[in-house]
Amino acid sequence: MADTIAIEARAVAVPIAGRTPWQITKARIQRDKITMVALGAAIFFVALAVLAPALTALGIIDPMNNHTELVGGLGSMPIGPFGGVSLQHWMGVEPGTGRDIFSRVVSGLTVSLTVAMLAVLLSVVIGTIIGIISGTAGGRVDWFFSRITDFVLSFPQTLMLIALSTIVIDVLQLAFNTDRTIPSMVFMILVMGFFGWPYFARIIRGQVLSLKEREFIEAARSLGAKRWRIYFTELLPHLWAPILVYTTLIMPQNIATEAALGFLGVGIQSPTPSFGSILNDSVNYALADPAYFLFPGTTLFLVVLSFNLLGDGLRDALDPKADRQ
Amino acid sequence: MKQIKIVAGVATTLALALVATACAGTASPSGGSVAGTAGGTLTVLSATATEHWDPQRVYVGVNIEAGNRLFTRTLTTFGPVAKDGEAATLVADAATDTGTVSADGKEWKFTIKDGVKWEDGKAVTCADFAYGISRTFAVDVITGGPNYAIQFLDIPKDAKGGSAYAGPYKKTGQDLYDKAVSCEGNTITFKMAKPTGDFNMAATMTAFGAFRADKDNGDKSNFEVFSNGPYKMDGAWTVNKGATFVRNDQWDAKTDTIRKAYPDKIVWDESLNGNMETLYQRLIANQGEDQNAITFDQAPPTALASVAAATGRNSIVASPYTRYLVPNFKSKVFSNDKAREALALATDRNAYVVAAGGDQVAKATNSLINPALPAFPNTPLLAGDKGDPAKAKALLEASGLTLPVKINVTYRKNAMMDKAFAGMKLGWDAAGFDTQLTAIPAEQYYSTLQAPASATKYDAYWAGWGADYPSASTVIPQLLDSRSQISSGGPGQDYGYFDNADFNAGIDKAMAITDGTAREKAWGTLDTEVVTKYFGVIPLINDQFLFAHGSNVQGAIVNTTFTGYYDLANISVKH
């Protein structure tokens, strides 16, 4: 293990000042160029997603209106090279309607990121609660929750999504009395969130198992602290690191799942744009109008990549044992 | 007709006459009735799974075409044509002539030719025809096919409105059927309930074909072929795979003026199973065996440009369908006359045309009757092809409803329709509607429309219809006669519960007209009336079908009168 030796050698060389864990983490991230770029990209995409509704309202981007004069010929293909790329339409226009692809990709980012993020939040909340309870309680409670975790993990998530989608979305649509956009988003959040929590639960449980033997927990317990105080005041602050890391890692997975489901036709419903619905349509034009597939496809790739690299970087920075320089 | 069968995005009623409207019609190079080359193997590439081959259960244009040309000879049929889009004439097939009708129009007689034989060498008799047609009445077993026999024949109805005859399996009311359909030597006589001047056109459907009683296995006969035409099935049919049709040596070309039967073998390959993109990529690439291939699947929008570029190997013809919008008279919004008019005024047909692939493949229309029918009234568009949302908004404000008016519009889900309806929604929303779109998968689309529960759920529906044979008698009454369509079981094909006593009286009046030209004109007038006076339907577009075939295929001509697909009668393979 030559690496270890190198690290030790360097560790000796660096003078150790009194730094908080946060400062250490920050310094580590700042040293890691790839993570910094990924962080910048992720912030950019999130900002774009947050701003998209405002940009639409102001008329700066226009994801919905047709520009039928920009498409023509048999099949209503975009007029002009690269799928009708122009100063007004940076990524060209959609075949069949002339809608601006850039605007649709930006609006799609809002939908896709909202779904992915809320689904992760749901997973985190359920996973953390179950992980902490299962890790601290031990015994039968632990066995019970661990089996539930295994059970949910072994469920075929995609099949469930496809099988349930029509019925559940119908019910939600009736309940909300809206079009299918919101119900399909809620459905995806619920299902992806529900199937995502076991990953968190397992990791949190593992952390808790090692933490609960530590002296400060022992101390709290011997002072007569209540169970809930131990859970949330003593344990939880020590779990932020793994939660943050896995949130950033599950996030791109959810974005990709949304795109995959849209591709299978059970995702966000037209006319609302999302990565899934855009790619689902554009893949049919892979030969006739490759630009329509390439622009949104590349954007999706960059979004997923930036979150993945950010997650990796965060893990390296937050977990001292995994310093892989 | 009681139901439109949908297979992979193609509504599947029988097609009708198209006259000279076939826009940009590209004649096949080998076109006309030039002599073909006998022998060789023709491949039919299909991305659509066949649901039935049983002649009485077939209602899909493709299978009516193939069934009739390959193995089920009917009393009459439509002859092949010399080029795409030409109108075909009604000719005798298994009968000696196109039938004789009594003066009151209620009795039809056909005489079956000598020398028409089954594949086991036995003659096709009058009794085989009577038996075949009787199978339609077994509605619990023989499902899927047209029920014109039940509508037309003079057999009383039972208390529930069904026929008093229960078909050849249960045999309830057999004497009633034997009275309505009788045999005298080789002459078959049909007694009609009402004057039916165009019965010999309905008789072109394979549902009016012969079936041998000793070969009838009920539901198990669904994919069994017992031929009396030039081809028979070699082995058994495999769903999603297909089978090969080989020559039937008992078929005598002398008895058949319609089918040239050039290829030795016809391989029906449906293993592409829904993948029309691949199918057309293969046809356009034109490699190896695919040079001998045709298809009955229309080109998807993504392939339109490459199909159009394959000159000499393509056909662009008018489809027999009209795509239209039905306001639901049971919904709170569209029971309001002004709201329906506003919807009609605000409809942007241009968005639909562009989404469908441009004005070469779709045309805006304001008539329910297809332009190919003699009855086509060519009603002018109310506000151009883009609609007039401003005028519609004024109407909607005067309707007494509170704006924005929430409406829920359904359509049959596919990528093209998503775009078409997203575009039309913009027009409706600009007129003061708040449109929710509900896309329903193809396989459950029409059953959803016909479900009684939908009446209170949706405000307007997309639908498509094509005449079964070239008469508007198969359009207006089938879609808008509330008396024959609406029941406790749902709206039938009157999806929007349009129920108007004056209009129904008009239907009765048109039905009673014996002169064909005058009757078709009356249908046209009723069409304009329902569209511009009652706003009971909002016609949207007529689309065109694009097909392509391999370079070795000769005589691949689309017969728009008969089903609207490539006609197998004259097709041959260069080899």
Backbone angles phi, psi at B112, to 5 degrees: -85, 135
Span A211-225, mean pLDDT?
88
Query: Of B281, B351, B357, which is closest to A66 when you measure between CB atoms?
Result: B351
All residues at 6 or more sequence positions from B94 whose CB lies less than 8 Å from its CB, including other chains = B73, B74, B75, B112, B113, B116, B124, B129, B210, B228
* Orientation angle between helical segments A275-282 and A240-264, nearest 10 degrees: 30
Whole-angstrom Cα Rg for chain A: 24
Q: If DSSP codes are grouped into helix, strand and coil, which group holds residue A157?
A: helix
CA nearest A180: which of B408, B441, B110, B104?
A: B408
Residue B378: the pLDDT is 93
Cα–Cα distance measured from residue A158 to residue B303, given in angstroms and rounded to the nearest whole number? 30
- Reduced to 3 states (helix: H, G, I; strand: E, B; else coil), residue B487 is strand
User: Do B22 and B560 meet the contact criterion of CB atoms below 8 Å apart?
Assistant: yes
Q: Which residue has the tokens 């929750």?
A: A145
State which CATH number among 3.30.420.40, 1.10.3720.10, 3.40.190.10, 3.30.2310.20 fits the domain covering A32-56+85-318.
1.10.3720.10
| Burial environment of residue A18 by CB neighbours within 10 A (0 to 12, 13 to 18, 19 or more) | exposed
Residues in chain A within 8 Å Cβ distance of B277: 284
B-chain residues near A95 (CB < 8 A): 301
Which pairs with CB-CB distance under 8 Å and at least 24 residues apart come from B159-163?
B161/B487, B163/B137
- Chain A residue nearest residue B408, CA to CA: A179
CB B193 within 8 A of CB B160: no
Tell me the two tokens of residue B442: 């193809």
Q: Which residue has the tokens 């119908």?
A: A170
Residues 323-352 of B with CB under 8 A from A: 350-351
Which of A71, A269, A287 is the closest to B354 by Cβ?
A71
Beta carbons of A271 and B304 less than 8 Å apart? no
| The pLDDT value given to residue A110 | 94
Mutate to test the interface with B, among A76, A184, A277, A285 (most CBs of B within 10 A): A76
pLDDT under 50: residue ranges of chain B = 1-33
Beta-carbon contacts of A239 under 8 Å, excluding residues fewer than 6 positions away, are: A128, A132, A204, A207, A208
CA distance B557 to B549: 10
CA distances from B265 to B103, B232, B262, B515 (A): 45, 10, 9, 45
Which residues face B183 on adjacent strands? B188
- Measured between CA atoms, the residue of chain B closest to residue A288 is B302
B278 Cβ under 8 Å from any chain A Cβ: no
Contact B304, B361 (CB under 8 A): yes
Are A239 and A167 in contact by the 8 Å Cβ rule? The answer is no
Q: Is A76 left (phi over 0), alpha (psi -120 to 50) or beta?
A: left
> Chains A, B: CB contacts under 8 A, how many?
96
Q: Do B358 and A75 touch (CB under 8 A)?
A: yes
Query: Helix, strand, or coil here: B560?
Result: coil
Specify the DSSP class assigned to residue A234. I
| pLDDT of B158 | 79
In order of A209, B43, B308, B313, the CA distances from B316 in angstroms are 71, 21, 8, 10
Listed by start position, the domains of chain A span 32-56+85-318
Q: Give the pLDDT confidence score for residue A11 in this predicted structure.
A: 52
Closest CB to B438 among A180, A265, A285: A180
pTM > 0.90: no
d(CA A235, CA A136): 10
DSSP B77-146: EEPP-SSTTPPPPEEESSBSSS-EE-TTS-EEEEEBPTT-B-TTSPBP-HHHHHHHHHGGG-TTTS-SS-
In B321-473, where does DSSP find H-type helix?
Answer: 337-346, 349-356, 389-397, 415-430, 445-450
CA–CA dist B540, B324 (Å, integer): 5
Question: Is the Cβ of A284 closer than 8 Å to some Cβ of chain B?
Answer: yes
At A12 the pLDDT is 54
Q: Do A96 and B438 touch (CB under 8 A)?
A: no
User: What's the whole-number average pLDDT of chain A?
Assistant: 86
Identify whether A242 is preceded by a cis peptide bond (ω within 30 of 0).
no
Cα B552 from chain centroid? 29
Give the 3-state secondary structure of residue B375. Answer: coil
- Contact of A283 with chain B, judged by CB distance below 8 Å, is answered with no
Q: Which chain B residues touch A97 with a CB distance below 8 Å?
A: 351, 354-355, 419, 422-423
| CB proximity B305 to A under 8 Å | yes
B354·A98 Cβ contact <8 A: yes
Nearest-5° Cα angle at B44, B39 to B50: 135
Give the strands of the sheet with B41-45, arranged side by side: B231-238, B242-247, B265-269, B41-45, B293-295
Residue B1 contacts by C-beta under 8 Å, 6 or more apart in sequence? Answer: B13, B59, B146, B147, B148, B468, B474, B478, B493
**Measured in Å, how far apart are chain A's first and last C-alpha atoms?**
13
Q: B269 versus A321: which is more confidently predicted? A: B269
- A100 in reach of chain B (CB within 8 A): no
Distance CA B543, CA B547 (A): 13
Q: What is the pLDDT of residues A26-39, one digit of tens each?
A: 888 888 899 999 99
pLDDT computed for residue B493 by the predictor: 87
Burial class (CB within 10 angstroms; exposed 0-12, middle 13-18, buried 19+) of B214? exposed
What pLDDT shows up at residue B441? Answer: 81
Cβ-count burial B344-356 (b if 16+ within 10 Å, e if not): bbbbbbbbbbbbb
Q: Measured between CB atoms, which of A65, A271, A288 is closest to B418?
A: A271
Q: Is the CB of B513 inside 8 Å of chain A's CB atoms?
A: no
* Residue of chain B whose alpha carbon sits nearest to that of A270: B418
- Specify burial of residue B49 (Cβ count, 10 A radius: 0-12, 13-18, 19+): middle
Residue listed under structure tokens 């058949």: B256
Q: Cβ contacts (< 8 Å) between A75 and chain B: which residues?
A: 301-305, 357-358, 361
Closest-CA distance, A155 to chain B, in angstroms, reads: 26
Which residues are CB-contacts of B466 (< 8 A; sequence separation ≥ 6)? B11, B13, B14, B15, B16, B319, B320, B321, B322, B370, B564
Residue A23 touches partner B, C-beta closer than 8 Å: no
Q: In this complex, do B302 and A288 lie within 8 Å of one another by their Cβ atoms?
A: yes
CA distance B145 to B468: 12
Phi, psi of B490 (to 5 degrees): 130, -175
Q: B277 and chain A: CB distance < 8 Å anywhere?
A: yes
CA atoms within 13 A on the CB side of B255: 22
Question: Does the beta-carbon distance from A180 to B439 stay under 8 Å?
Answer: yes
Give pLDDT, residue B470.
83
pLDDT band at A14 (very low <50, low <70, confident <90, very high): low
Question: Which residue's entry shows tokens 């593992």?
Answer: A206
**A287 contacts B301? CB cut-off 8 A:** no
For A2-47, what is the HEC assignment? HHHHHHHHHHHHCCCCCCCHHHHHHHHHHHCHHHHHHHHHHHHHHH
- Residue B532 contacts A, CB cutoff 8 Å: no
What is the rounded distance in angstroms from the CA atom of residue B169 to the CA atom of residue B180?
18
Strand partners, B407: B435
Q: Which of B250, B246, B215 is nearest to B231 (CA)?
A: B246
Would you say B452 and B490 are in contact if contact means Cβ atoms under 8 Å apart?
Answer: yes
Of B355, B360, B363, which is closest to residue B381 (Cα–Cα)?
B363
The residue-averaged pLDDT of A151-176 equals 81
**How many Å lie between the alpha carbon of B429 and the closest alpha carbon of chain A?**
12
